[in-house]
């Protein structure tokens, strides 16, 4: 299931940009009340977007306690420092963020857990099973971070009006 | 402060005539001056594993409730613990998992946005309620079983006991949340399962904790973890999605403990592997029956199809695909625990479209 964004709720930032993930980190850090309730989350989590005729976009969120300490770019293959990462084509990632922007949160098959279960668009990878485990043990935290994109879409609409 | 620091200034006899013991004031055998330092999260169980306090014995020397690292007087009563070897219950990540469990507790009452439940197509509501009936039925086993064994675990492995305590609380909450979901939208509890009860009895009657852990953590909870993942996928609204995600986080922790515990047990004594295999030989047969149980299969298929209209075209094929993934991930978990089941498993892999030779290669 893919969703088309409405003009009133689309992300202004490209999904394959560090600025988007920095904004997600900022959004996370601005809402400790959400993440403290979910419990601490210590992990180095990556997102890899494969792009046609271009190097993949690869970004890491360094999550500590109840927030995101740092957002860094890494070269595909240079993921030794990560616990686990999600990898998929850019258009699938675009669909993930479009769905969040449109609905205020991930819906249907566009949640991280569902995508990974179906594994036909986005897959979870890690160096070992212990690292991959963290994706499931911290899943609600990760989903909440991504759902933060909805607030960015709304805010940008507000800024532009 | 050493034992040589005699306290001759203190009385030897108390006001009611009893002899007084001031030896604790000299530190007895404690590591006076070894201070555990809090880390960023606070003072964790990992932080206090300092000096001899952090040394976990391979075999507990006594069977008492005396705290590990304390000075234990002669004649302390024997508690009759049965699990006295580290490999009986330990997992290398158990202290971290305990801390994580404590930090990530949640409330089934307030963490789920119950007020946002929506009226669903009656067939879908029935299917969700049938799934919740099953989950309400099975979740308490993962509390009852650790509770059955908890008092038999030597107190020297207190971190493992504490983790199992969190698991009990987690499973109470899962029982609560699925019961609440069944009752919250007008559907109610539907059909309990005979096959389900047989699986639960098999787990509960395991002869050793390690066999019980194989049946519960590796097999039972591993499958339930996959059902939660499927539940998240097929949830009709964000309310159910959050319910399954929150439960999934807890269940993944339990599976992580069980997997690492079994690995530890097999590494300490390779003969334990056969004991685990024997338990899984029985458990796999029962769980295969459970997944094929008509009321479970049909409810999941309806949810996957989004209703009864497309259950044959969409629900059944997708469920079959997900079940193949479920059994594949179970075999991968076994491998990770040091138990290779690919050749021995009694699960009808070929019938489920799983290529055994590919698993062996993997």
A5: pLDDT confidence band, cut at 50, 70 and 90? very low
CA distance B132 to chain A (A): 19
* pLDDT at res. B203: 87
pLDDT digits (tens, 9 = 90+) for B113-143: 999 999 999 999 999 999 999 999 999 999 9
What is residue B90's predicted lDDT score, i.e. its pLDDT?
97
| C-alpha distances out from residue A43 to A6, A64, A68, B136, Å | 34, 7, 10, 32
Q: Does residue B219 belong to any structural domain of this protein?
A: yes
Helical pair B316-336 and A129-137, crossing angle rounded to 10 deg: 130
Burial call B154-187: b when 16+ CB within 10 Å, e when fewer: bbbbbbbbbbbbbbbebbebbbebbbbbbebbeb
| Contacting residues of A for B259, CB less than 8 Å apart | 129
**Per-residue pLDDT for B40 more than 90?**
no
The strand ranges marked E within chain B are none
Quick: pLDDT tens for B56-68. 999 999 999 999 9
What pLDDT, on the 0 to 100 scale, is given for residue B179? 98
**pLDDT value, residue B126:** 97
Would you say residue B67 lies in a domain?
A: no
Domain with B320 in it: 92-361
Q: What is the mean pLDDT of chain A?
A: 89
- Taking contacts as CB-CB distances below 8 angstroms, the residues of chain A near B40 are 64-65
pLDDT at B1: 44
To the nearest whole angstrom, how far is the Cα of A54 from the nearest Cα of chain B? 31
HSE of A13, CA atoms in CB hemisphere, 13 A: 19
CATH code, B224: 1.10.620.20
User: What is the DSSP-derived secondary structure letter of residue B58?
Assistant: S
Closest Cα in chain B, distance from residue A75 (Å)? 27
The answer to whether residue A123 scores a pLDDT higher than 90 is yes
Is B32 contained in some domain?
no
ipTM: 0.88
Indicate the pTM of the whole model.
0.91
Q: What is the mean pLDDT of residues B135-164?
A: 95
Nearest neighbour of B249 by CB, restricted to A107, A117, A136: A136
The pLDDT, as a whole number, for residue B269 is: 95
CATH architecture entry for A18-151: 2-Layer Sandwich (3.30)
The whole-angstrom separation of Cα B9 and Cα B15 is: 16
Interface contact A139-B245, CB threshold 8 A: yes
Task: Determine contact, residues B116/B137, Cβ cutoff 8 Å.
Answer: no
Which residues does chain B have within 8 Å of residue A139's beta carbon, measured at their own beta carbons? 245, 248-249, 252
Report whether pLDDT(B3) > 50: no
- For the record, the structure tokens of B241 come out as 């999605």
Record: contact B105-A39, CB cut-off 8 A: yes
Closest C-alpha among B319, B163, B174 to residue B249: B174
Q: Closest partner residue to B256 among A64, A107, A133, by Cβ?
A: A133
Please say whether the dihedral angle defined by the alpha carbons of residues A14, A15, A18 and A24, taken in this order, is positive or negative: positive
Mean pLDDT across the stretch B39-63?
Answer: 94
Name which residue leads in pLDDT, B181 or B352.
B181
Tokens representing B131 are 């799934």
Q: What is the pLDDT of residue B2?
A: 45
Q: Any idea where the domains of chain A sit in the sequence?
A: 18-151
User: Between B105, B229, B332, which is nearest A113 by CB?
Assistant: B229
So what's the pLDDT on residue A157? 47
- Euclidean distance between CA atoms B112 and B93, whole angstroms: 29
Q: How many Cβ atoms are within 10 Å of B271's Cβ, its own excluded?
A: 7
Residue B39: closest C-alpha in chain A = A65
End-to-end alpha carbon distance in chain A: 31
Domain count along chain B:
1
Residue B189: inside a domain: yes
Please list every residue in chain A whose beta carbon sits closer than 8 Å to the beta carbon of residue B238: 105, 107
How many contacts (CB atoms, under 8 Å) link A and B?
68
Q: DSSP code of B42?
A: B
Identify all chain B residues contacting A111, using CB atoms and an 8 Å cutoff.
Answer: 232-233, 241, 245
Give residue-wise pLDDT tens across range A38-97: 999 999 999 999 998 889 999 999 999 999 999 999 987 788 899 999 999 999 999 999
Please check the confidence at residue B6 and state whether its pLDDT lies above 60.
no
Percent of chain B with pLDDT over 70: 97
Q: Chain B interface residues facing chain A, Cβ-Cβ under 8 Å? A: 40-41, 93, 100, 103-106, 111, 225, 229-230, 232-233, 238, 241-242, 245-246, 248-249, 252-253, 255-256, 259, 322, 325, 332-333, 336
- DSSP element (H, E) containing B176: helix B158-184
The answer to whether B233 contacts A114, with C-beta atoms less than 8 Å apart, is yes
Average pLDDT over residues B167-188: 97
Q: Which residues in chain B have their CB less than 8 angstroms from residue A63's CB?
A: none
Which of B111, B229, B333 lies nearest to residue A117, judging by beta carbons? B229
The mean per-residue pLDDT over the stretch B316-339 comes to 92
- The pLDDT of residue A7 is above 90: no
| CB within 8 Å: A133 and B41 | no
pLDDT digits (tens, 9 = 90+) for B270-288: 999 999 999 999 999 888 8
Using a CB-CB cut-off of 8 Å, the residues of chain B touching A138 are: 249
């Amino acid at each position: 299931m893919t969703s088309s964004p409405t003009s009133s709720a689309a992300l202004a930032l490209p999904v394959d940009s560090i600025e988007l993930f920095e904004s997600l980190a900022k959004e996370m850090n601005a809402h400790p009340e959400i993440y403290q309730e979910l419990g601490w989350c210590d992990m180095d989590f990556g997102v890899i977007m494969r792009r046609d005729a271009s190097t993949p976009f690869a970004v890491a969120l360094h999550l500590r306690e109840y927030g995101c300490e740092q957002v860094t770019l890494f070269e595909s293959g240079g993921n030794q420092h990560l616990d686990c990462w999600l990898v998929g084509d850019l258009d699938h990632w675009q669909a993930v963020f479009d769905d969040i922007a449109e609905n205020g949160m991930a819906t249907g098959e566009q949640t991280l857990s569902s995508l990974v279960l179906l594994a036909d668009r986005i897959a979870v990878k890690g160096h070992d099973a212990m690292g991959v485990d963290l994706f499931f043990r911290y899943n609600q935290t990760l989903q909440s971070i991504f759902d933060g994109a909805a607030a960015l879409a709304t805010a940008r609409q507000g800024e532009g009006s | 402060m050493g034992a040589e620091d005699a306290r001759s200034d203190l009385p030897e006899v108390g006001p009611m005539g009893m002899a007084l013991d001031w030896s604790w004031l000299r530190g007895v055998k404690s590591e006076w001056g070894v201070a555990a330092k809090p880390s960023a999260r606070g003072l964790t169980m990992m932080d206090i594993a300092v000096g001899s306090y952090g040394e976990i014995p391979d075999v507990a020397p006594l069977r008492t409730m005396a705290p590990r690292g304390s000075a234990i007087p002669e004649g302390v009563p024997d508690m009759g613990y049965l699990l006295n070897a580290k490999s009986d219950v330990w997992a290398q990540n158990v202290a971290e998992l305990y801390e994580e469990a404590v930090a990530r507790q949640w409330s089934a009452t307030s963490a789920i946005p119950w007020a946002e439940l929506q009226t669903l197509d009656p067939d879908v509501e029935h299917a969700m309620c049938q799934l919740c009936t099953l989950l309400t039925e099975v979740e308490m086993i993962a509390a009852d079983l650790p509770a059955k064994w908890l008092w038999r675990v030597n107190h020297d492995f207190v971190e493992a006991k504490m983790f199992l305590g969190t698991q009990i609380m987690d499973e109470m909450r899962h029982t609560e949340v699925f019961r609440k979901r069944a009752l919250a939208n007008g559907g109610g509890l539907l059909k309990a399962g005979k096959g389900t009860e047989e699986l639960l009895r098999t787990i509960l009657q395991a002869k050793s904790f390690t066999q019980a852990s194989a049946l519960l953590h590796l097999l039972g909870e591993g499958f339930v973890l996959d059902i939660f993942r499927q539940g998240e996928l097929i949830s009709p609204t964000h309310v159910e999605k959050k319910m399954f995600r929150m439960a999934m986080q807890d269940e993944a922790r339990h599976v992580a403990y069980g997997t690492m515990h079994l690995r530890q047990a097999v590494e300490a004594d390779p003969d334990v592997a056969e004991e685990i295999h024997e338990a899984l030989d029985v458990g796999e047969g029962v769980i295969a029956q459970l997944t094929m149980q008509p009321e479970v299969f049909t409810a999941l298929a309806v949810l996957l199809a989004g209703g009864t209209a497309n259950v044959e075209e969409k629900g059944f094929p997708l469920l079959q695909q997900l079940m193949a993934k479920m059994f594949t991930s179970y075999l991968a978990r076994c491998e990770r625990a040091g138990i290779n089941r690919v050749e021995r498993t009694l699960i009808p892999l070929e019938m489920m479209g799983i290529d055994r030779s590919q698993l062996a290669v993997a």
